[in-house]
Amino acid sequence: MGGGGWSMDGRLLDDHILDLTGKRRPRVCYVPTASGDGPDRIARFHEALGDRAETAVLGLFWREVEDIEGFLLGQDVIYVGGGNTANMLAVWRLHRVDTALRAAWEAGVVMCGLSAGANCWFEGCSTDSFGAGLAPLLDGLGFLPGSFCPHYDGEPLRRPTYTRWVADGALPPGWAADDGVALCFEGTELAEAISERDGGRAFRVDTGGELPLEVRALAAAPERG
């Protein structure tokens, strides 16, 4: 997700993610490393999804889970929050969360996230991890090839810097998504782009510029019982 879901007061993208599991009350694990395991975000996660899912949290700053890989393999959805992408990746590697995530991904667990939680799956990304400005980062997990830029319409510098970095070779060609828009991959192939708000856009970006993607608008589903 370029942005959206419960942390940005959205709901339709989260509903779609839960529906991908095919379960009435899927097990959803929130990974809040990028925000330093901030308690406010953890509380909001439980509040937002607790009526629709069995919620759990993988905390690393006050770690309680010993077998991280087994814990993640027991989830239906892994939901990575936003924050500092570079710090998150460094902490993950120290705790071997990177290898546990790959095992869960290969086992078919639904992987998702917004902002830093979207950046992480790619080889590279646009990030504000290093200060007030934006910078290219080539240190992602690399589950998905290429690069990613979140908040494409939500922050004015995201679009011009990302297109320039791709054109100059600072980042490999990749994908960009507005707030409220998600790119859905099956394996490493893009299946579709979806949006929980009107006019949401997504793009393939290469050295020649932007290629707009078709974006499917999500409709509100009946309330879950």
Residue pair 140/119 in contact (Cβ under 8 Å)? The answer is: yes
Residue tagged active-site, from 16, 35, 151, 195: 151
Whether 126 is catalytic: no
Whether 7 is catalytic: no
Task: Please state, in angstroms and rounded to a whole number, the distance separating the CA atoms of residues 87 and 33.
Answer: 8
- Reduced to 3 states (helix: H, G, I; strand: E, B; else coil), residue 204 is strand
Residue tagged active-site, from 7, 115, 129, 195: 115
68 token code pair? 């991280």
- List the one residue out of 94, 101, 26, 87 whose CA is nearest residue 63: 94
DSSP 137-176: E-----SEEEEEE--TTTSTTHHHHHHHHHHHTSS-SEEE
| Farthest CA pair distance, the chain | 51
Which active-site residues does the annotation give? 115, 151
